[in-house]
């Protein structure tokens, strides 16, 4: 159970190897790597700058990770999220989940990335090749994806 917020890039292979090292109970390992992509309408995206509030961001990521641990039988999990100025194609986030069974690893990984998109306190500014900047707004599709992980009202009444 590890959470890191950092400016520097990460090595996917080294991160996954370290996550599973010495644990023979792990039968499934899933990971998601998010990359900065050019979503700007026009002109093209030159970079995205991610800002966060140190301390608060890590605590929220730890809470999200603890929720995944409570929902699925995970042996290990990892969230690495970068901040600072990143250009299209650069790695921005890594989420990895290890479990005795693949179903739990897949579900937990999917849950973590969906909740990170909607609950993690990061602020993003896009910079175009022309020098214009704009704050990135939350997307309804991200909220819809995260909503499927909330308990249904019927389940709460049981």
Q: Kind of pairing, strands 84-86 and 45-52? A: antiparallel
- Helix then strand then coil, % of the chain, to nearest 5: 35, 30, 35
- Give the pLDDT score at 143: 63
Q: Kind of pairing, strands 76-82 and 91-99? A: antiparallel
Locus of tokens 């090292």: 21
Q: What residues pair up with 52 in beta bridges, in sequence order?
A: 122
Locus of tokens 């969230």: 79
Domains in the chain: how many in total?
1
What is the distance between the alpha carbons of residues 105 and 76, in angstroms, rounded to a whole number? 9
CATH number of the domain at 74, please. Answer: 3.90.1170.40
- DSSP labels for 40-63? -SSS-EEEEEEEE-TTHHHHHHHH
Q: Is residue 81 part of a domain?
A: yes
- Give the pLDDT score at 158: 44
Tens of pLDDT along 41-98?
556 888 999 999 999 999 999 999 999 999 999 999 999 999 999 999 999 999 999 9
Q: Is residue 108 part of a domain?
A: yes
Mean pLDDT of the chain: 88
Yes or no: say if 133 and 48 are a contact pair by the CB < 8 Å rule. no
Q: Which residues contact 115 (CB under 8 A, 6 or more apart)?
A: 64, 67, 146, 149
Tens of pLDDT along 87-113?
999 999 999 999 999 999 999 999 999
- Give the pLDDT score at 153: 46
Q: Is residue 144 part of a domain?
A: no
Q: Is residue 152 part of a domain?
A: no
- Give the pLDDT score at 41: 56
Domain coverage including residue 123: 2-139
Q: Which of 25-39, 88-102, 143-157 has the highest mean pLDDT?
A: 88-102
Q: Which residues contact 6 (CB under 8 A, 6 or more apart)?
A: 80, 81, 82, 83
Record the pTM.
0.87
Q: Is residue 156 part of a domain?
A: no
């Amino acid at each position: 159970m590890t959470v890191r917020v950092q400016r520097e890039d990460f090595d996917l292979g080294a991160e996954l190897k370290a996550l599973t090292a010495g644990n023979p109970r792990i039968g499934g390992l899933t990971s998601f790597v998010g990359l900065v992509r050019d979503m700007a309408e026009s002109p093209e995206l030159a970079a995205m700058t991610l800002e966060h509030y140190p301390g608060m961001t890590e605590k929220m990521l730890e809470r999200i990770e603890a929720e995944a641990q409570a929902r699925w039988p995970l042996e290990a999990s990892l969230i690495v999220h970068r901040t600072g100025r990143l250009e299209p194609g650069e790695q921005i986030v890594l989420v990895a989940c290890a479990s005795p069974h693949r179903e739990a690893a897949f579900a937990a990984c999917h849950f973590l990335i969906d909740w990170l998109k909607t609950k993690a306190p990061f602020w993003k500014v896009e910079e175009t090749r022309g020098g214009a900047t704009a704050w990135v707004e939350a997307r309804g599709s991200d909220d819809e994806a995260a909503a499927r992980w909330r308990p249904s009202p019927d389940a709460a009444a049981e």
